[in-house]
Amino acid sequence: MERSHADIEQAIQRTLKENTARAILKLTEIFGSIFSRDQFLEALEISGFNVDDTAAYLQDRLPSEKKEANESKTKPEDQIDLILQESSLNIVNTENTVEGPKTGNLALEFSLSPIYINSEVPVFYIVDEILKEIFSFFSAGERARLSSVCKTWKMIDQTTGYLYKRDCHDLWVKTSRPQGNIFFYPFNNDIELWGEEYPKNYTDSPEFCKSFKNWRNMWVKRPKIRFHGVYISRIAYFRQGQVNLDNLPSYHKVVFYRYLRFYSDFSVCCINTVKKPREYVRLVDKSNAECRLGEWGRSGNRVVMHLLAKNEIFTYQLDLKSSPGYYFDLLKLVKVQSRSAHNQEYSDLNINNDAWPKWFKFLPIR
């Protein structure tokens, strides 16, 4: 609905009053009670409502005793520079602060008011439609952190279901395992590698997806592997060494870290190293020469990972778990099997010892 000519005139008059009040406030901060309000208004009219010109005009008309006191401290040109510098500062006075526009037609009032030209718009003046457009440039995790800023941003995050729909379609594709594989013969048989539990076009059932009610709940509560970081496990155990001179056994403490990084193309890399996460986590990548490459797939809360090591494949079965306050940020090791090129049958490995990791904790990389 367009505004009438009378409404526009009213907005202009209100803007002029605000501009005049701000100018008088700045002049009062500069000159104090030396001049009255009427003198400020008269000087503003003479100077064309320019605060800098008005300050210079009033400086020349200071009372003689005030002027002599100012001249004894600083030179007139220096005093004028100081006045102009102070007048350009946006000093806030809580008692005389001019309130901003309160009507809903913010765009017109901002365009008509010279107060807001070349200035930053306060965030509480931004309409919801613009905030939603800004939120669309962030990922779901970043929007979750933004929603904790204030109630308004939390409401924006909860009412932008179409953004979570976009994220869900990008993350959960039509399959939960790779369509091909990167392994050489004889490990390149998809049926033997994945079995019947992971068909080529596996996906969660429609009934399971509908149980989340909305897209935001689906993004938060549906089991998923995270791609923007690394899963880390710290392994520490004691290993028996050689017998010492007193014919007593010696023990050595072994400490190392196992890093897992998953990718959206169903590839995964694994690195074992003694280097701590703080110094090494950003180096965990498929391009790292120390990593073992493999593939992964998901069925419900179960994640299966195949890692290639020389002439054998290690198959890890892990469960997606949640820590307090988070969803699916942990991986629990359930079972490990190996299969060599000579013997195609799987053999279970004993993981009930301290040399195997029990939990992997997710660490985001920002």
Note the pLDDT tens digit of each residue in 45-83: 877 777 777 777 777 777 654 445 444 444 544 554 544
| Residues 346 and 231 grouped into a single domain | yes
Residue 231: inside a domain, yes or no? yes
DSSP state of 60: T
| Residues 228 and 334 grouped into a single domain | yes
Please give the pLDDT value at position 25. 78
Residue 186: inside a domain, yes or no? no
Answer whether residue 104 shows pLDDT above 50.
no
Least confident of 88-97, 170-179, 207-216, 242-251: 88-97
Residue 165: inside a domain, yes or no? no
Give the structural domain span for 283.
Answer: 221-364
Residue 208: inside a domain, yes or no? no
pLDDT cut 70: percent of the chain above it: 71
Residue 216: inside a domain, yes or no? no
CB neighbour burial string for 90-120, b if at least 16 within 10 angstroms, e if fewer? eeeeeeeeeebbeeeebeebbebbebbeeee
Residue 290: inside a domain, yes or no? yes
Domain closes at, from 71, 94, 125: 125
Arithmetic mean of pLDDT over the chain:
75
| Residues 245 and 359 grouped into a single domain | yes
Domain closes at, from 125, 153, 173: 125
Residues facing residue 339 across a β-bridge: 313
Residue 86: inside a domain, yes or no? yes
Please give the pLDDT value at position 231. 93
Token reading at 183: 């392994």
Least confident of 124-138, 175-189, 304-318: 175-189
Please give the pLDDT value at position 90. 42
Domain closes at, from 92, 125, 158: 125
Please give the pLDDT value at position 42. 83
| Residues 106 and 225 grouped into a single domain | no
CB contact at 8 A, 181 and 294: no
Q: Comparing 118 with 305, which gets the higher pLDDT? A: 305
Residue 130: inside a domain, yes or no? no
Residues facing residue 249 across a β-bridge: 243
Token reading at 296: 């992964």
Token reading at 38: 């009427």
Number of domains within the chain: 2
Least confident of 81-85, 118-122, 326-330: 81-85
| Residues 239 and 121 grouped into a single domain | no
Which of these, 130, 133, 159, 135, lies nearest to 146 by C-alpha position? Answer: 135
Answer whether residue 110 shows pLDDT above 70.
no
